[in-house]
Amino acid sequence: MHLSIGSPPVDIYGSVDTGSDLVWTQCEPCPQSQCFRQEASLFDPKKSSTYNSISCFSFQCVIAGTNCSEGDCIYSLAYGRGLHGSFSSGNIATETLTFGSTSGKPLEMPKIIFGCGHNNSESPNTPSNQTGTIGLGPGSSSLISQMATSIAGKFSYCLPHEGSSTINFGGIVAGAGVASTPLIIRDHYYLTLEAISVGNQRLEFVSGGKYFIDAGNILLILVFSPELPEVTIHFKGADVKLSPSNIFQNISDDLMCSAFRGGDANTIYGNIMQMNFLIGYDIEQRTVSFKSTHCANN
């Protein structure tokens, strides 16, 4: 996601993540050994007239749920596990964020809580233009929570298999073919999974499973599969029919990746299964809506 930070505004590109809250970007000072490589220059808070550091005793530090070091409010975050894990730590501050808009006039949001990262590591497949993470989770420090009144608690995105698309704040997903399911808001966004159909076989979840929906997570396991079955995810009140590209990813002529993985941890509805669906969150009405869409055109 592209937006700008500071005054004068500096472009940053963050990984959209509905599974975490804080917005952070790499900041000066950050030795080469403590930062991942990025195409753009690091954001320098000393050059911004709207940058304000946060003390340990401020309400912003409490909202961000962070720690203190020598009177400064700091954060430390870890994402994923093992070799594909990433992390960021640094100072909590407030800044002006600038977004593009449908009117063509940039929209400024002042005093947004964000993380100024001074020690950061990203996963091996991080795009070269990425500078950090845009947290869209339900926590108080997330971008969505801080924008809540101006966007009426609504946002939507459409993830393409290739190319780019637009994230929308304030609009709703409507029209023919929309399926909506209740949104359970706790530490993350949860949906109720009732069943999964593979071809004509339907697997019921008797007590209803809680599915953690995360646009920033990819779950894969290598398998060989010569057939592509029709798979439907049955959420409470919403049947989401997946295409083969939501289920398998081609690795070579005779090898594919399955987007399903077993485990004992939280069940996650990752971003591969979300591709080519317009997905709208309504925090006030507590619903998530799905609409099959060719996202490269949105």
Task: Write out the catalytic residue numbers.
Answer: 17, 214
Q: Which two tokens stand for residue 108?
A: 């400024």
In DSSP terms, 287 is beta-bridged to 182, 282
**What is the distance of C-alpha 203 from the center of its chain?**
29
Residue type at 264 in one-letter notation:
D
Cα end-to-end distance, the chain, whole Å: 14
Per DSSP, the residues of the chain read -EEEETTTTEEEEEEEETT----EEEBSS--GGGS---SSPPB-GGG-TT-EE-BTTSHHHHHHT-EEETTEEEEEEEESSGGG-EEEEEEEEEEEEEE--TTSS-EEEEEEEEEEEEEEE--TT--TT--EEEE-SSSTTSHHHHTHHHHTTEEEEE--SSS----EES----STT-EEEE-EESSSEEEEEEEEEETTEEEEEEEEEEEEE-TT----EEE--S----EEEEETTEEEEEPHHHHEEEEETTEEEES----SS-EEE-HHHHTTEEEEEETTTTEEEEEE--GGG-
State the Cα–Cα distance between residues 278 and 36, nearest whole angstrom.
31
